Structure 1
Amino acid sequence: MSEAAPLVALRDVSFAYEDGPAVLTGLDFEVREGRALALLGRNGSGKTTLMRLLSGGLRPRAGELTVDGGTVSYDRKGLTRLRTTVQLVVQDPDDQLFAASVAQDVSFGPLNLGLADSEVRARVAQALAALDIAALADRPTHLLSYGQRKRTAIAGAVAMRPRVLILDEPTAGLDPDGQERLLATLDGLRASGTTVVMATHDVDLALRWADDAALLTPSGVRTGPAPENLARTHLLREAGLRLPWGVAAAELLRGQGLLAGAAPGPRTAEELATLVATQPGQAG
């Protein structure tokens, strides 16, 4: 049986900004449905450009963008179809929020689709509930905290009911509690069928959260299962990233005979504590 086409893909894509050098050349990149994907790379590696190409904000100079195996056209019809499939939430929510209140901002996208008022209201209510900000519906956006603004920006994308939600550094600027609440929200969105792509510099977060990790390096993008890719020191070095602590801990545990060679290493501090506590001689 042949493998299903990726949900969204860039095929042999090249891009350069006007009067600038090439940012991406001959890039192949896939988003597989249902797989949480972390996108990592040093500043200037092309992460933001790649995300904007996936969402239709930029058009490749060469190559093509596909959805369900079909080439995206950049006319009104093609871009509308793309934006009901893929939504991008930028890093700074203040670059995305503009309406007077939370509900008005979240309703903007669905209204532009020409949906009936009843459908728009339903989508807004569901998106606010999914992001746990229903109580803020009438709150002026300029009175929101930073974390609340982040959630409002994501809710605006969720209201479009995309199949792929792309988030640029969604945990940046959040305190630990805010990060945990956001990750729980993303888990809920994934459980409801949304495929989530997260750009991040945080290798520990990527190891903990992602199914797959895509490392942007000068020699191209390298995508694979997160625990495997994030243990490849040469790739991490190329991408300007450090080794995740979970990978380093797993190597230490294996060296001490506390973790079998094929057994997965800890991806969170809680998993490490549980693993150590279950070792002979550690109880009591």
Structure 2
Amino acid sequence: MTDDAVVELRGASFAYEYGPTVLRDLDFAVRPGRALALLGRNGSGKTTLMRLLSGGLRPRTGQLVLESVPVTYDRAGLTRLRTTVQLVLQDPDDQLFAASVAQDVSFGPLNLGLPDSEVTDRVTQALAALGISELAERPTHLLSYGQRKRAAIAGAVALRPRLLILDEPTAGLDPEGQERLLDTLAGLQADGTTVVMATHDVDLALRWADDVALLTPAGPHVGPAADTLSRADLLDQAGLRPAWGIAATRLLRAQRLLEQDAPGPRTAAELDAHAGHVRGEEATR
């Protein structure tokens, strides 16, 4: 039990009709202000977990708790949940349906019954947060894939959730698009939104996340990103390869080029900066 969790599953189990149990007796909490990456092989339960946290699925046993209050699955309870927790699917075409970007982003706030002026403000702010203000009147079917991704996220952001859950948000984006999206997420986090990201990319998880949850057959293992992704046994259980940053850190420490308690590089730029620092130290000897 976690008193400060934004949302929490307690003793939750779930099985699809005519299928095996996907998650069993699961305790899982999302803490505010922590960037959390969900990692695991296909079929490990990532999508099921995200849908349980956002109310798209209901646990067969156990309960979902939102800000210390159990969720009820009536209209009032789900409205309360979905104004606090928003899930953005991997394929933006599963969420975009309106004629224009602004119309699509306004759908959620309108459904809350907000005044028109408030809806307009939320749409304007969400488009600005995602860097797509100039696309407000663009037909959604004329957007690029990256633009559609950002428009789908803007629709969730317009509801001003405390928790934003993203399913493979960088999938299909080129490197520049990935960088722009990560910059956007940093801005949302700075404004108080907690972000959970499902990904297969261990390098991205090491770079971006504060904590990671490795979904293994024995259940999720949650811990600080660098420490957890250093566990070869857990990575093997989760069907994941090691992160290159972890391997680079081990090599640097073995060569005594990095102090044992110093954080290792998470990106190529950080590794290059560290190499430059080492070269500078050698030049002054």
- TM-score (ref. length: structure 2): 0.97
Q: Report the secondary structure of 2:220's partner residue.
A: strand
Q: Which residue of 2 aligns with 1:281?
A: 282
Name the amino acid aligned to 1:68: E
The amino acid that maps onto 1:202 is D
Residues 224 and 100 from structure 1, CA distance in 2 versus in 1: closer, same or farther, beyond 3 angstroms?
same
Instruction: Spell out structure 1 runs of 4+ moving beyond 3 A.
Output: none
1:215 aligns with 2:214: yes
| Matching residue of 1:253 | 252
Report how far residue 263 of structure 1 moved. 1.0
What's the CA shift string for 1:125-172, capped at 9, x where partnerless? 000000011100000000000000000000000000000000000000
1:278 match: secondary structure: helix
> How many Å separate the matches in 2 of 1:235 and 1:69?
30
Identical residues among aligned pairs (%): 73
Any conservation in 2 of the 1:6–1:33 contact (CA below 8 Å)? yes
Indicate if the aligned counterparts of 1:102 and 1:139 stay in contact, CA closer than 8 A.
yes
Question: In the comparison of the two structures, how many residue pairs are matched?
Answer: 282
**How far off is 1:68 after superposition?**
1.2
Q: Distance in 2 between matches of 1:198 and 1:3?
A: 20
Amino acid of the structure 2 residue aligned with 1:14: S
Amino acid in structure 2 at the alignment position of 1:159? A
Q: What amino acid is the match of 2:272?
A: A
Question: Partners of 1:190 and 1:227 in 2: how far apart?
Answer: 20
* Number of the residue aligned with 1:232: 231
| RMSD value, Cα | 1.2
User: How much has 1:278 moved relative to structure 2?
Assistant: 1.1
Kindly state the Cα deviation for residue 15 of structure 1 after the two structures are TM-superposed: 0.2
Larger mean CA deviation between 90-99 and 273-282 belongs to 273-282
Counterpart AA for 1:11: R
**Unmatched tracts of structure 1, length 5 or more:** none
Deviation at 1:115, TM superposition (A): 0.6
Is the contact made by 1:276 and 1:282 (CA closer than 8 Å) also made in structure 2? no
- Is 1:138 paired with 2:169? no
Q: CA deviation at 1:4?
A: 4.1
Deviation at residue 3 of structure 1 after TM alignment = 7.1
Note the alpha carbon deviations across 1:56-86, whole angstroms, 9 max, x for none.
0000000110111111010100000000000
- Partner residue in 2 for 1:83: 82
Q: Which runs of 5+ in 2 are unaligned?
A: none
CA drift of 1:276 comes to: 1.5
User: What are the equivalent positions in structure 2 for 1:129-278 lying under 5 Å apart?
Assistant: 129-278=128-277
Task: Note the C-alpha offset of 1:281.
Answer: 2.1
In structure 2, the residue corresponding to 1:66 is in which secondary structure?
Answer: strand
